[in-house]
Structure 1
Amino acid sequence: MNYKYFQLNNECYLVIGKKRATIHNLLKREIIWLDEEQTKLALMFENGEKVDCNNSFIESLCQAGWGFSSEKKYYIDKIRTKNLFTQNMFYKERPIIYSCTLHLTNECNLNCNKCGNIYCPSCIKYEDNSLPQIDQLKVLITELKDYGLHEVVLAGGEVALYQQLEELIEYCVGNKLRVTVNTNGLIKVKADGKIQIILNIFSHEQLELVQKNYKETDNVFVILHDMKKETEFLNPTWRAVEKDTSLPEMKTATMRKLGVLEFNTTKFWNTCLCNRIHIMNNLDVVTCLGKTELIGNLKSDSLSSIVLKLYENQWKDTKAADDNNGCSLCEFRYSCTPCILTKKKEPCNLV
């Protein structure tokens, strides 16, 4: 027996679950999943108790350079991106809206069979069919700039069917905003290098038409929904990603291996929602396009009150704070990929 103090390095974080635990190495972007016996041992050394450093688990951590043993106990200041003292200040910094998604219309010229059944959709049909007035949108964008707005995402339905789309794009570009147009590509949106086009592709036939419409356009990002091995046929200047429209399975193999910034951000904020606002065609503000929970309406509620609700109730809605689905008891709560807002079809077998 060789009882000493064992401590993880400052880049290594222990995350305790209901029965098991994980250790994240934020500099190496690696993760270790502990069994129940290793978890008990990890709890002991994290609580400042001496442990047998001849134990194979402790030896493996030392050999990997994830920690060290010593006769004395040292204070280890963990690597973090946020000054903890600022969390207790009386004065709080103003919330920042970095990105705004504007859902402009429910009208669509594709009407694919996946409509309404896509996990994390980028186009939906909302319950209200009213169209936003261009003057209302311009005023709204001006107000959002006071919150640090940097990017506007234009979506639908099919956004190209919104008659004043070009005027809205010109207004956003004139205000030094990055503009992304989310379209199915069947109607060509004028792109002169000042905006980014995101093409949502659902079939081979659609892909052929889209390639003709945008063959001269370089700043294009393609999302291939449930389509495999199609990237080799695309314009070589385009970026593309294959996306499964169904709810992702929760497997240890798909868990994210986090760096310093991602880990510390995920601990405190919902990284999908933080600093973002989603505004529908009738000026409803919703959680996101995938979960249209009503936050407020900009016709009746002030922007400041809605931003405060987003900040307090949505942006801080993390897996670590979620008791309903058991996520807060899971050792993978910071690295799990499926969205916390999606209702699970089956209980997660990792918890």
Structure 2
Amino acid sequence: MKNIAEAKFNLMPYCYLVKGAKRAAIYNLEDGDVYSINEESRELLEELNKGISIGDSFNRVSRHFPVSMEEIIEFVQELVKESLGTIHYGEKMISINQIPKLEPTLSFLWLELTQLCNLRCLHCYAESAPNLSNPIKIRESGWIRVIKEAHNLGCRKIQFIGGEPFMVKKLLFTLIQEARDIGYKFIEVYTNATLIKEQDLEFLRNNQVKLAVSIYGSIPLIHDIITQKQGSFVKTIDIIRKLIEKEIPFRIGIVEMKQNSAFIKSTITYLNELGVLKKNIKVDIVRSSGRGCNKNLMDPKLVYRQSKHKASFLKCSSSKFQKAISGHNCFFDKLCVSENGDVFPCIMEKRVVLGNISYSTLAEIYNSDKAKQTRFLTKDKIEICQDCEYRYCCFDCRVMAKSLYAKPSNCFYNPYTGEWRDYNKYKIEGGDEYVGAKKGN
């Protein structure tokens, strides 16, 4: 029988060891699972990856950590059992698959056509309202130029948003037609649906336009409190029924806040009964952007749910990992153009202005040093996050950070101790109820 101490161990080709300041994580890109390992296990794998035998690796690790050979063997065998590695007696090491960094391509464009809105929602990221006055607006020809330039950059997905896009319906329909004629594959309008007329539905269907519709409750009382417009619920639901009837594709966006948190389940049930499929309903806790920074929209339960207080992440596929090592999960392939021509890396990230289409082409802005700085903003460049083993599986929303390079305020993990800070203790010590980034900070 061969002596296992003389054997060598390698991670499987689809597994990657990501080191943190204290601990490390093994990313299994075949099934998407991420395994957290302690300090001594990290050092052991580093030694084994050099092609050193299990016995020799134990000798090196045991100089710094109180571990036994039996524990080392048990750990290695557990990795084999989980299909994370293999034991062999040959000289040849198994090569880890090399994942090249992605070449950036603009794939999605937000066009914020207006800041005007017939509603005044409590949480609006854009701080839209019915009576706003913006003297600087992009003309129709300017919007058309942007749509063409984005298409030339490779963009095939576009969303028209506001404000409320139907406040400028003539412009909206002109741009939809332009986008369809140019060859965009995905065209969506984000709307509260209260201004849509029945005759508009035919145009939307003929141009294969998808809608994203905001709803906040299953009864007028809840929905209208949030929109601050009596009768808005009835109008929105009426259009939802017609969208179902005319088979126009749409999805529902529910922003959860203190005012409607207790009614989210009943709202989803109500929408299901109307005929809206569960897969087409998304619930998102209010983000700290615009009026969403108002602390009165949050309560401790929502803050807790929005926080990262344990090692719970979505599956990390090979494509997700590749994007994470290449650039920012949102900024990498998206741009937003506002009503006054300012270009941002994200619809909610208004602290970073990349340029203005009145003075530069979209290509010039996209290829600028400032745009590249945000596009290639991986977690390796974020304070504290750069030393975290979870940095490639953790979704990063810059809105939840107090500056472009700061660790998100809602994360309670300390990579230098390898421990998750107790949220309840944080509250007792007087931590902020609503941590996030305010506009202009």
Aligned to 1:291, the other structure's residue is in SS state: coil
Structure 1 residue 346: Cα displacement: 5.5
Task: Return the structure number with greater strand share.
Answer: 1
User: Which residue does the alignment assign to 1:260?
Assistant: 318
Q: 1:222 is aligned with what amino acid?
A: I
Q: 1:192 is aligned with what amino acid?
A: R
Structure 1 residue 202: Cα displacement: 3.1
Query: Cα distance 1:124–1:320, how it changes in 2: closer, same or farther (>3 A)?
Result: farther
Give 5+ residue unaligned stretches, structure 1: 88-92, 117-122
Q: Is the 8 A contact 1:98 1:149 kept in 2?
A: yes
Q: 1:38 is aligned with what amino acid?
A: S
Residue from 363, 373, 396 that aligns with 1:313: 373
Distance in 2 between residues matched to 1:176 and 1:286, nearest whole Å: 24
Following TM superposition, the consecutive aligned residue runs of length 4 or more in structure 1 with deviations greater than 4 angstroms are 123-128
Distance in 1 between residues matched to 2:112 and 2:315, nearest whole Å: 33
RMSD across aligned positions (CA): 2.6
User: Which residue does the alignment assign to 1:331?
Assistant: 389
Query: Cα distance 1:314–1:39, how it changes in 2: closer, same or farther (>3 A)?
Result: same
Structure (1 or 2) with the larger CA radius of gyration: 2
User: Which residue does the alignment assign to 2:425?
Assistant: none
User: Which residue does the alignment assign to 2:405?
Assistant: none
- The reply to whether residue 65 of structure 1 matches residue 83 of structure 2 is yes
Q: Structure 1, residues 297-347: CA drift from partner, whole Å, max 9, x if none?
A: 11112333211136521221111232x2x1110000011124145313366
- The reply to whether residue 185 of structure 1 matches residue 215 of structure 2 is no
Query: Cα distance 1:128–1:18, how it changes in 2: closer, same or farther (>3 A)?
Result: farther
Pick which of 63-72 and 216-225 moved more: 63-72
Aligned to 1:153, the other structure's residue is in SS state: strand
User: Which residue does the alignment assign to 1:114?
Assistant: 123
Query: Cα distance 1:270–1:167, how it changes in 2: closer, same or farther (>3 A)?
Result: same
Q: Is the 8 A contact 1:179 1:196 kept in 2?
A: yes
User: Which residue does the alignment assign to 1:142?
Assistant: 148
Structure 1 residue 246: Cα displacement: 4.5
Task: Return the structure number with greater helix share.
Answer: 2
Aligned to 2:7, the other structure's residue is in SS state: strand
- The reply to whether residue 155 of structure 1 matches residue 161 of structure 2 is yes
Residue from 281, 291, 297 that aligns with 1:240: 281
Q: Superposition pairs for residues 217-296 of structure 1, below 5 Å?
A: 217=243, 218-226=248-256, 227=261, 228-229=264-265, 230-234=267-271, 235-238=274-277, 239-246=280-287, 248-292=306-350, 293-296=352-355
Distance in 2 between residues matched to 1:175 and 1:246, nearest whole Å: 34
Aligned to 1:288, the other structure's residue is in SS state: coil
User: Which residue does the alignment assign to 2:361?
Assistant: 302
Q: Is the 8 A contact 1:284 1:296 kept in 2?
A: yes
Q: 1:45 is aligned with what amino acid?
A: L
Distance in 1 between residues matched to 2:399 and 2:360, nearest whole Å: 24
Give 5+ residue unaligned stretches, structure 2: 56-68, 224-232, 289-305, 402-407, 416-441
Distance in 2 between residues matched to 1:81 and 1:40, nearest whole Å: 23
Distance in 2 between residues matched to 1:225 and 1:153, nearest whole Å: 18
- The reply to whether residue 2 of structure 1 matches residue 5 of structure 2 is yes
TM-score (norm 2): 0.69
User: Which residue does the alignment assign to 1:90?
Assistant: none
